[in-house]
């Protein structure tokens, strides 16, 4: 009996350990499950619409041929009028034209921190820039 219990316990422990390792190596599995956080859903939406985002950037800045977004830079900030929060802005950073010294920020206005962005609220608060020395300069 003790031997059976030890075997069942070992199998259960290996199963939980395997699930944990899978979760650490592949966090995208949560995007369409009940375990999905708002950040997971926002990130999944951005990845789904990456091609549209790149087309939008290209329409605003024709010299930009390619954009590579860094999914780890997803952030949400308050938008305030000085007295109260009037909304939020979801921002993601990347590089463009395969030049590592470039930086581009894509912004989406959202009403709540956990809202899913949409293409009608896309914008850029800063123009595409390139790092030269210790500063950032507008890419032209």
Q: Which CATH architecture has domain 37-138?
A: Roll (3.10)
Q: What pLDDT is stored for residue 15 in this prediction?
A: 62
Higher per-residue confidence, 86 vs 18: 86
pLDDT surpassing 70 at residue 12: no
Q: Tell me how many degrees the CA angle 30-36-37 measures, rounded to the nearest 5.
A: 135
Q: What pLDDT, in 10s, does the model give residues 121-138?
A: 999 989 999 999 888 888
For tokens 């959202």, the residue is: 110
Q: Is the pLDDT of residue 5 over 90?
A: no
Q: Backbone phi, then psi, for 133, in 5-degree steps?
A: 65, -125
The predicted-structure confidence for 69-84, as pLDDT tens digits, reads as follows 999 999 999 988 878 8
Minimal CA–CA distance to 50: which of 94, 9, 111?
94
3-state secondary structure of 7: helix
Break the chain into its structural domains and give their ranges. 1-36, 37-138
Instruction: Give phi and psi for 100, each to the nearest 5.
Output: -60, -20
Cα 11 to chain center, whole Å? Answer: 36
- The H-or-E segment that residue 3 falls in is helix 2-25
Q: In the chain, what percentage of residues exceed pLDDT 90?
A: 56
């Amino acid at each position: 009996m003790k031997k059976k219990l030890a075997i069942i316990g070992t199998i259960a422990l290996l199963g939980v350990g395997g699930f944990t390792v899978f979760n650490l190596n592949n966090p995208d599995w949560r995007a369409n499950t009940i375990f999905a956080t708002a950040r997971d859903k926002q990130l999944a939406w951005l990845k789904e619409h990456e091609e549209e985002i790149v087309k939008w950037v290209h329409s605003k800045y024709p010299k930009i041929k390619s954009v590579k977004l860094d999914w780890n830079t997803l952030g949400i900030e308050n938008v305030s009028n000085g007295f109260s929060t009037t909304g939020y802005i979801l921002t993601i950073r990347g590089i463009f034209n395969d030049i590592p010294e470039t930086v581009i920020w894509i912004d989406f206005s959202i009403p709540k921190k956990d809202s899913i962005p949409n293409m009608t609220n896309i914008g850029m608060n800063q123009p595409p820039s390139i790092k030269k020395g210790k500063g950032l300069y507008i890419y032209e």
